[in-house]
Amino acid sequence: MRILLVGAEGTIGRAAARELAARHEIVSAGRSTGDIRLDLADPASHGPALAKAGPIDAVVSTAGNVHFGALEEMTEELWGIGLRDKLMGQVQFALAASKVLPEGGSITLTSGILSEQPIRYGASASLVNGGLEAFVRAAAIELPRRLRINVVSPNVLQESMPVHGPYFRGFDAVPGAKVALAYSRSVEGAQTGQVYKVY
């Protein structure tokens, strides 16, 4: 398969790329790195990036920004970072991809453990991750041409603990290679509307 992977240079993206590249051709995309430029927060970039990618069988998004901060200090602008980027960015990317993928093609998005297990300063991430999971369940029953859509919900990665560890005390961090298996399951499997939890 040819897979367009958004966020291929991130921690999760690199792990997913290593796993999938063993069997498939990866076309990487990102805001400032990769084969193709694609900014999730800019829907106008989605169509041109998909067109530039050429024929693809699957898309995977491992990207998306949210703001971490105290609930009482969150403003509409700060909430908007996650809503525009990680939530609606992935939703709009999935819808754009659904117009160009072939019959039976696959869409995989990324949420995260905070949808179920919140942390202090992570309300925006919890909101966005929960929204993504609900969207995938709903979109799965309406997408045309037997397209499949799933979302991977990883725990904090072991590779990210040097930076994020103070926020995830008591969490059993998982290796990126284990998270990457969920992307293979989504892309190469047969299910749709699934939340693949890697806790």
Q: What confidence tens digit (pLDDT) does each residue in 129-146 have?
A: 999 999 999 999 999 999
How far apart CA 71 and CA 31 sit, in angstroms, is 28
Q: Which residues contact 124 (CB under 8 A, 6 or more apart)?
A: 66, 67, 68, 69, 74, 78, 79, 81, 82
Is residue 60 within 8 Å of 4, Cβ to Cβ? Answer: yes
**How distant, in Å, are the alpha carbons of 60, 95, 118, 150, 182 from that of 82?**
18, 18, 15, 20, 23
Predicted confidence band of residue 72 (pLDDT cuts 50, 70, 90): very high
The CATH class that applies to domain 2-198 reads alpha beta
pLDDT level of residue 61 (50, 70, 90 thresholds)? very high
- Please give the share of the chain, as a percent, with pLDDT higher than 90: 100
Evaluate whether 47 touches 25 at the Cβ level (below 8 Å).
no
Q: If DSSP codes are grouped into helix, strand and coil, which group holds residue 65? A: coil
* CB-neighbour burial class of residue 38 (10 A; exposed 0-12, middle 13-18, buried 19+): buried
Average pLDDT over residues 4-13: 97
Q: What local confidence, expressed as pLDDT, does residue 154 receive?
A: 98
Mean of the pLDDT values across residues 75-99? 98
Instruction: Tell me which DSSP letter residue 174 carries.
Output: B
| pLDDT of amino acid 55 | 98
Taking the C-alpha atoms of residue 29 and residue 35, their distance in angstroms, rounded to an integer, is 6
| Mean residue pLDDT across the chain | 98
Predicted confidence at residue 37, as pLDDT, reads: 97
pTM over 0.75: yes
Q: Which helix (H) or strand (E) holds 52?
A: helix 46-53
pLDDT tens readout for residues 172-188: 999 999 999 999 999 99
- What is the rounded CA–CA span in Å between residue 38 and residue 73? 30
Confidence of residue 82 (pLDDT cuts 50, 70, 90): very high
